[in-house]
Amino acid sequence: MAVIPVLDKFTENTIREVNETAPGEIDGIIVNSLVGASLISGLNSGVKSDYLMEAAGLLEKKRREIADLLTSESGKPVKFALEEADHCIELARYAASILAAGSDGAVFGNATGQGDFHSLSYLRFPIGIVLGITPYPDNLLIACNKILPALSAGNAALLKPSSMDPLGALALRDILVEGGFPAEAMQVIVAGRRSPATAKLLRNREISMVSFTGSAGASEEIFRASPPRKFSMQVGSNCPVIVWDDSDPDSASDIIARSSFRNQGQGCLRAQRIIVMDRLEEYLVNRLAEISSGLRTGNPHDDSTDIGPLASEERAVAIENAILKDLAAGGQVITGGNRKGSILEPTVIKASGRESDLWQHEIGGPVAVVLSAGSLSEAIELANAASSGLQAGIFTSDLSIADLAFRNLMCGSVLINDAPGYRFNSIPYAGMKGSGFGTEGLRFSMEEMSVPRSMIVRR
C-alpha cells in the first residue's frame, strides 16, 4: 500500500505517513457511504444535536493537541491554529443548537385559482452523499464548514483534504465518530489532486453533491471529471480594501496588517489589494510598513511567531519572482520581500499598476499590494477590476460612503471598518464572478445539501 509522507512545513521532517487511498478502495468507500446515508437519515434532530455537542466537547478537550498538529502540517503559527480550533468548536455547537430548535418545515393553507382548497406542507430531506474537497492550509475549519452541515442535514459525508495536510481532517473524522456519528457516514479519502483514486471518486454517480474550496483550475478539473450533480464551488479571491480619507489610518493599518499576513497570506479570505485615498497614501503605507517589519518570522510552534513557512520553498520562490517582476515594471517594495528558504518576509509593495499580476491574481503569500485612488468611484472601480469577488472592506466614518460601497462592490460580503477574513456561521458566505457559486454558512449549507419535498393534499 502506498503511503503519503506528511511533512512538518518548518523542519521539513516527516510527521506521519498516511496510507494513500487506492483506486480499488473507492467502490467499497461508496458502498459504506450509502450505508452511512441510510443510518444518518434515520436519526432525529435531537440525536444529531447530541452527537455534535459531544464532538464539540472532544474538540475542546483536544484543542491544543489539534492546534499543534495543524501547525506542524500547515506551517501556520500556533496562535492562529488555536483560533481555528475554537472556530470549529463554535461551529459544532451552533449546528447542534439549530438541530435542537427543530424542523425548518412550513405548513400553509391555500386556495388555488380553481377554487379547490389544498393543504400544503413541505419538509427538507437529505440528498444522500456529500463530497467535501478542501485545500491547503485550512483543512480543519473548511472541512467543518462542509462536513458539519452535511451531517446535520442527514447526509453521509466524504472528505478529501489536500494531501499536503490531511491530519486535521483525519482527527476531525475520529472526533465525529467518537461523538456518536456512524463511521460509515464520515469517511476520509487521502489522495492527490490528479491521482487515479481521485479521478475514480469524481466519476462515481452515487455522490449527490460536491462542495469544493480551492483554485479555479482545480474547480474546472472537477467539473470536467464529474457527471451531472449538484455543486458548491468556493473558488479563491484577491480581496480589496478601501481606506477612505475620513478614516483612522492607524486603526485601518492594524486591522489590514492582521488580515493580510495571517497564516502567511495563504488563503483567499484576506486583504490583498489595498486601495488608499491619495491624501492618506504616504501615511498609511508607512504605517503598514512599520507594523509589517515588527512581525516575527520563524518557528510556527513558538507562541510569539507571526509568520511561519509557506507550503514549500518552491512556492516561496514563485512569489519572490512575482515581486521581482513587478519591481521591474515599476513597482516599489516598501518593506519586506526577502526570503529565507520557505519563509517570506511580510511584504508591502506599491504595485506597478492595475495590470500587475500582483493586483490581478491571488498571491497566496504574505504580500499586501497598494494602489492609490482620487475618488470613491475610482476606488470602487479598482476594487472591482479583478475576476474574483469574495469579500471586500472599506474604512470610513461616513455611513453614506459605506452604503455606496456596499451597493457597488461586486462581492459576496462587504465589511465596514474591517478587513476581509471573517465568515460568521449565521449569515450566508458566497462569492461573485470568478469566486464561485453556491452558498455556505451553516443554515445555508444545510439547505444546499438537502431538497424540499412538498406534500399537497386536496380537501
Rounded (10°) angle between helices 26-41 and 196-203: 40
pLDDT band, very low/low/confident/very high, at 458 (cuts 50, 70, 90): confident
State how far the Cα of 352 lies from the Cα of 332, in Å rounded to an integer.
7
pLDDT at 110: 40
Alpha helices in 329-429, H assignment, sequence order: 357-360, 376-384, 399-408
pLDDT in tens, 133-149: 999 887 799 999 999 99
User: What are the helix (H) ranges across 135-181?
Assistant: 139-152, 167-179
The chain-wide mean pLDDT, for the chain, equals 93
Q: What is the pLDDT of residue 111?
A: 37
Phi and psi, residue 210, nearest 5°: -115, 125
- pLDDT one-digit tens code per residue, 321-341: 999 999 999 999 999 999 999
- Check if the beta carbon of residue 393 is closer than 8 Å to that of residue 402: no
The answer, yes or no, to whether residue 446 has pLDDT greater than 50, is yes
Q: For 246-294, what is each residue's pLDDT tens digit? A: 999 999 999 999 999 999 999 888 999 999 999 999 999 999 999 999 9
**Given a cut of 70, is residue 103 above it in pLDDT?**
no
| C-alpha R_g of the chain | 23
CA atoms of 439 and 58, how far apart (whole Å): 28
Whether the per-residue pLDDT at 2 is higher than 70: the answer is yes
**Which of 99-103, 176-180, 378-382, 426-430 is the least confident region?**
99-103
Which DSSP state fits 280?
Answer: G
Q: Is 408 in a helix, a strand, or coil?
A: helix
Average pLDDT score over residue span 2-30: 95
The pLDDT value recorded for residue 115 is 47
How far CA 75 is from CA of 143, 193, 264, 311, 423, in Å, comes to: 18, 20, 9, 7, 22
Q: Is the pLDDT of residue 171 over 90?
A: yes
Residue 60 has a pLDDT of 97
pLDDT of residue 104: 46
Nine-digit cell at 407?
Answer: 451597493
Place of cell 519591481: 327
DSSP code, position 20: P
Distance CA 252, CA 352 (A): 23
Question: For the chain, which domains are there?
Answer: 3-235+435-458 (3.40.605.10), 240-423 (3.40.309.10)
Rounded to two decimals, the pTM is 0.92
What single-letter DSSP state applies at residue 245?
Answer: T
Measured distance CA(91)–CA(59) in Å, rounded: 11
Question: Residue 221 pLDDT > 50, yes or no?
Answer: yes
Q: What count of residues does the chain have?
A: 459
Angle at the Cα of 41 (from 59 to 58), degrees rounded to 5? 10
Confidence tier at 398 by pLDDT (50, 70, 90): very high
Cα 109 to Cα 118, 208, 457, distances in angstroms: 7, 32, 10
% of the chain at pLDDT higher than 90: 86
In this predicted structure, the answer to whether residue 108 has a pLDDT above a threshold of 60 is no
- Beta 347-350 vs 432-433: how paired, if at all? unpaired
Evaluate if residue 116 carries a pLDDT over 80.
no
Kindly provide the b/e burial profile for residues 204-228, where b requires at least 16 CB atoms within 10 angstroms of the residue's own CB.
beebbbbbbbbbbebbebbeeebee
pLDDT in tens, 356-376: 999 999 999 999 999 999 999
Q: Which residue is associated with the grid cell 519586506? A: 336
What percentage of the chain carries pLDDT values higher than 70?
A: 97
